[in-house]
Amino acid sequence: MTWKISNQFVYPKSMRSIYNGSRHYDVGGAKYPSVTTIISLTKSQKDIEALNNWKKDVGFDVAAKVSKESSDRGTEMHSWIESILLLRANGELLDEVNLPKKMAETIIENGIKNKVSEVYGCEAVLYYDGKYKFAGTADAIINSNENKLKILDFKQSNKPKRREYSVINEYGLQLALYSIAHDSMFGTKISSTEILMCTPNLIFQNFEFKGEEFENLKKEAMNRVEQYYNQKNLSSSL
């Protein structure tokens, strides 16, 4: 492979649990609401209605089946990518043929190979200890061949996505919060993040957030965190 493993950053261990009705991370005894929970609970009404309408259109049983199949495929794809990134995949594994593996290899070939010089961590726990706390797990933290620290997110998608889709912005918000947490923990200055996506028919897409768009995403993401806390405080006072 064209990259090496680096231990420059030591990421904490954490346990996930349900606390006050939502998923939290326990880091050193402190509890932090998860980034995915925050983003999910602060979705716009338009996005909530769109999801509900899709479930009604295809049928709730079909929707549940599609969601489970997508989730299972995505989980296995992530495992393959992690094994390859951390240089754990051996010849026997590489000879195995299945769809999630092919999707992982597509992402590695198009989004990682010859573009990454160092891998700092996979499934790395990050937390933010400011006024509004949060934590999450980044798929991968790498150094690019341009010597830029970057957080990557790996996604499986049943169909290709367009940049303007709201789900891409939601993914971008998650990455923005991971970046804010990483900068706070280690004094880094992450300036871009990237989604690497593959469909079951092996169409690869990448969506990079940088420059003004990235800075705006970080502001929007922190607004969503504040909104989450305001919602929790309001519900607890009723």
Domain of 22? 4-237
3-state secondary structure 127-169: EECCCCCEEEEEEEEEEECCCCEEEEEEEECCCCCCCCCHHHH
Main-chain phi, psi angles of 83, to 5 degrees: -60, -40
Q: At 140, which CATH number?
A: 3.90.320
Task: Give the per-residue pLDDT at 97.
Answer: 63
Query: How many domains is the chain built from?
Result: 1
Query: Is the per-residue pLDDT at 228 higher than 70?
Result: yes
**Digit-coded pLDDT (tens) for 51-91:** 667 677 678 777 678 678 788 888 999 999 999 999 887 55
Whether pTM exceeds 0.75: yes
**Digit-coded pLDDT (tens) for 216-225:** 999 999 999 9
Task: Give the per-residue pLDDT at 238.
Answer: 43
**Percent of the chain whose pLDDT exceeds 90:** 68
Task: Give the per-residue pLDDT at 54.
Answer: 62
User: Whole-number mean pLDDT of the chain?
Assistant: 89
